[in-house]
Amino acid sequence: MTNKVVVLGSLNVDTTLHIVQMPKPGETISASSKTNSAGGKGANQAVAAVRSGAETSFIGQVGDDDLGSFMVDALSGNKIDTKEIDKISEEGTGSAVILLDKNGQNCIMVYGGANQAIKPSKIDKAEELIASADILIAQFETPQDVTLHAFEIAKEHGVTTILNPAPATKIIDGLLAVTDLIVPNETESATLTDIPVTDVDSMDKNATRFAEMGIDNLIITVGDRGAYYHTKDDSGFVKAFKVKAVDTTAAGDTFIGAFSSQINKDLSNIEQALIYAQKASSITVQRAGALPSIPTSKEIDAEYK
């Protein structure tokens, strides 16, 4: 079975500056090189989903500019349905500047632009597309009230909703009630629950806190250690595959997109989908850039026979 995945999210053109080490406050440093690529959490997740075999569509917004055309072409070139990506003249296309050090760690600054200008009325136009999906994914690089409206429509049509609360910020009332699965990383989880993530016991406590907030199904990604999962029926920890990281940009997005391509609507195969997602993200971190680093299902199968 092929999942039909719809991503509501951000479209950013990424500029990556390659540096030896992160600058200190007030310090001026030189970059050894600069690269530009298509990115944004939404775009990354959509590309990861489609490259792992999901029938993927996108709901989003870009500026009426060259960068906007570049982003739409990047997605359509990956066989993603872009009919629900609008161009607006009021805001420019989203962009991000990424500082990438020699150890593969990054620091990212994002300009939301057109991503942050999406209105709930945009979702009404896309209701038929949402209703046709198996999985709907959203992040926090677009307005939460838009995500709430999209998730409400999704639930009316039996669509499974996945929320990636990144960058972490206070979650608006009602959103978790229409979210089936929340997927923060360890920092985002701690920000939302006020409980530091250090070990499995602390992850259990995070899960308890999220349940108190109104959501039982949780995945916490913890970088090169792996991923923790908790549902009403089960919990556990899936270790990451050990590789040498070159660039961690888009690793978490690859994880979520690849996961969405494999997960059953009732989350019944969550551990198997997590293992697949870990394989995908382990390949991503061994490559440079955002979209260019995301593997196909064939590459994942070849790497992990």
Residue in the block written with tokens 């198996």: 134
Distance, CA of 125 to CA of 202 (rounded, Å)? 42
Cα(175)–Cα(173) distance, integer angstroms: 6
> What letter does residue 222 receive in the DSSP assignment?
-
CA-closest candidate to residue 8, choices 135, 171, 189: 135
Catalytic site includes residue 204: no
Residue type, 35: T
Distance (Å, rounded) from C-alpha 192 to C-alpha 170?
A: 7
Start-end of H helices in the chain: 41-51, 66-76, 120-125, 127-131, 144-156, 186-193, 200-213, 251-262, 270-284, 297-303
Q: Which of 65, 86, 134, 253 is catalytic?
A: 253
* 255 contacts 281 by C-beta, under 8 angstroms: yes
Residues 6+ apart with CB under 8 A from 111: 12, 92, 94, 95, 96
Identify which of 42, 75, 51, 107 has the alpha carbon closest to the alpha carbon of residue 247.
107
Task: Give every CB contact of residue 206 below 8 A, 6+ residues apart in sequence.
Answer: 189, 190, 193, 195, 197, 218, 220
Please list the residues that pair with 79 across neighbouring strands. Answer: none
Backbone angles phi, psi at 103, to 5 degrees: -90, 0
Contact 172, 145 (CB under 8 A): yes
The residues assigned a catalytic role are 253
